[in-house]
Amino acid sequence: MSQEERRRADTRMVPYPSHSIVPERDVNSIPVLETRHLGIEFGGLKAVEDFNLTIGRTEIAGLIGPNGAGKTTVFNLITKVYEPTRGIVLINGHDTKGLNIVQASRLGIARTFQNIRLFSQMTVEENVRIGLHNQIRYDMFTGILRLPRYWKQERKQHQQAMELLSLFGMQDMADVRADSLPYGAQRRLEIIRAMATNPSLLLLDEPAAGMNPKETEELMENIVRIRDQFQIAVLLIEHDMNLVMGICEGICVLSFGKIIAKGTPADIQKNPVVIEAYLGRKKEAQA
């Protein structure tokens, strides 16, 4: 970029904040997540560009798009795995510039991973207890010396972990090693572990991947139930359109790093741009 071009780019006026939608019930509170002109470049390749999204306090939002569109990159930007090269991420109204993953999680975001990342050599209960790490605390010396506070906090952790596990009926598996759980249970455990951090925004990266229709149905109910019970916002990446159209209130469609459509499920379903991104142009299909 020449100096002249850069000067012109710096003085260019951009709409701010850009058009976004949230449910009517969340209009009176600060949005859980707000991204403005968020973008990241990897050595000249713009993986995500001008990503504007607002998520209401109790909204279930969906992020969809063809493979390689940059959906997981958006998650990594929100959770501070990557530092954005442009734009800002606000979590509960707090700027996240310069924060690391741990600090971002303390602001109230929790996530699950596309390829399951459990603490494989630990038990199911211990996995949930790691989620409770910053909720129920005591220091190292209390632990080594087994002071009364240790027993009190351990009991509290155990109770809370069990309560959380009972959300998905997994109390009986508390002592099983995480890597010996069946696939579906591993995915459920990841959600429980994320919920243990007491988040205000839950990010789910392909929660229904590899699940059969019946399990997906259950998962949909569970996500809605969690939202209702804990009054949190959920942002999910998913390829299963039944799930996305079934529970999401606002949907954002990403293609080649850019938002190509935003709206309610009904809007998205009849949006010609979205159909084109997923199925290709009509002319090409006929040819």
Q: Site for other proteins (CB under 8 A): which residue of 18, 82, 86, 119?
A: 119
CA–CA gap between residue 70 and residue 175 (Å, rounded): 37
What is the β-pairing status of strands 33-42 and 86-91? antiparallel
Min CB(136)–other proteins separation in Å: 8
Q: Site for other proteins (CB under 8 A): which residue of 20, 82, 86, 113?
A: 113
Q: Site for other proteins (CB under 8 A): which residue of 150, 185, 264, 271?
A: 150
- Report how many residues bind other proteins under the rule CB under 8 A: 44
Min CB(158)–other proteins separation in Å: 9
Choices 28-36, 85-93, 192-200, 270-278 (CB under 8 A): range interacting with other proteins: 192-200
Verify binding: residue 209, other proteins, rule CB under 8 A: no
CA–CA gap between residue 73 and residue 28 (Å, rounded): 30
Verify binding: residue 131, other proteins, rule CB under 8 A: yes
Beta-carbon count within 10 A of 287 CB: 6
Choices 91-99, 105-113, 239-247, 255-263 (CB under 8 A): range interacting with other proteins: 105-113
CA–CA gap between residue 128 and residue 106 (Å, rounded): 16
Verify binding: residue 155, other proteins, rule CB under 8 A: no
Verify binding: residue 134, other proteins, rule CB under 8 A: yes
Verify binding: residue 231, other proteins, rule CB under 8 A: no
Min CB(58)–other proteins separation in Å: 22
Verify binding: residue 110, other proteins, rule CB under 8 A: yes
Verify binding: residue 185, other proteins, rule CB under 8 A: no
Verify binding: residue 144, other proteins, rule CB under 8 A: yes
Choices 61-69, 117-125, 232-240, 277-285 (CB under 8 A): range interacting with other proteins: 117-125
Verify binding: residue 187, other proteins, rule CB under 8 A: no
Q: Write out the residues near other proteins by the rule CB under 8 A.
A: 79, 81, 100-102, 105-106, 110-111, 113, 117-123, 125-126, 129-131, 133-134, 136-140, 142-146, 150, 153-154, 157, 174-175, 193-194, 196-197
